Structures are given as C-alpha cells and as structure tokens.
Amino acid sequence: MGDNEMILGGKQIAAMFILVILSQTGMVSQTISCSHADAEKADYEASRLQAWDKLYHSYLHYSGCDDGSIWEGYSDSVVRLLAYHWNTLPQAIPLFASDAGFHRFALKHIDSTTKDEYLRMIRANAIHSCPTGGNEYCVQIRKAAENALRENGIEFSSKSKK
C-alpha cells in the first residue's frame, strides 16, 4: 500500500510540474468566470476602450465574458486602436510580450465582424508603419487583418505582402 501511495504521489507531482511549466509558457490559459454583473460591465465597456492599458485591464477582468455582443465590442475596440490609433501600438507591445494570452486576445479580435475599411487600414499600417521592435507583431497583425478580409471575400496577391 505504501509503494502505491508513493507512485501516485510521484505522478501527482509530475502532473503538477507539467501544469506549472505549461502555464508559464502560455500553453494553458486561465479560465475566468463571468458573472451576470461582470457580463453587464464588460458589455458596457468592451466597445468603449480607447487605450491599450484600458483594454488590457478589461481583458484581465472580463475575458471570461468574451462572447456575443461583448466579443463584437472588444473587436470594435481592438480594430479602432489599430486602425485609427496605430501610433499607440508601442504601448501594446510590452503588454503582448508579457502576456501571450492578451496578444492572442487582440489578434482574434481582428475579425470579419468589423468594417473592411478598418481592416484595410490595419493591414496598411502593419505593412508601412511598423514601430521599431514590433516586426513580429506587425506581421501577425497584418495576417489577422488579411484573414478577416478573406472571410469577407477579399483576396491579396503574394506580391502585396511584406
């Protein structure tokens, strides 16, 4: 009986070690619950966020509510920041670098629910105005915008990519 308990304990320790490693690498995302009150707050603010730090704060508190109209609100905020406030991308880069989940959150909200005009602006910004040190992020942002445009039936030639 003692040997079996020791083996089980070793397996549990190994499993916990793997989970810790995976969580540190961003391969396991934390699940954030969404109460009714949280959903109301998230729905109110999701489309009104006008700065990367505010978007990040909302992501930390309400990403568990990211569905339906809240999803669309976050998409509006992300796309607006990238289309009309591209010059603030250097503020987002450290947030993306320190929190892979937030980076994925931003990329997934560059989607076909937003206007093609905005997606085209994001694509052009990513190609022509990438901030110093942001090349990797600009490539991913450009690809996300192109994928969203493709979903809306717009194609790009391989020569037009950077």
pLDDT in tens, 21-45: 544 544 434 456 899 999 999 999 9
Provide the 10 A C-beta neighbour count for residue 140.
18
Q: In whole angstroms, what is the distance from residue 140 CA to residue 144 CA?
A: 6
For residue 111, give both structure tokens: 């989607």
Least confident of 32-36, 90-94, 98-102, 141-145: 32-36
pTM for the model stands at 0.77
Mean pLDDT of the chain: 85
Give the Å distances, CA to CA, from 142 to 15, 19, 111, 149.
38, 32, 12, 11
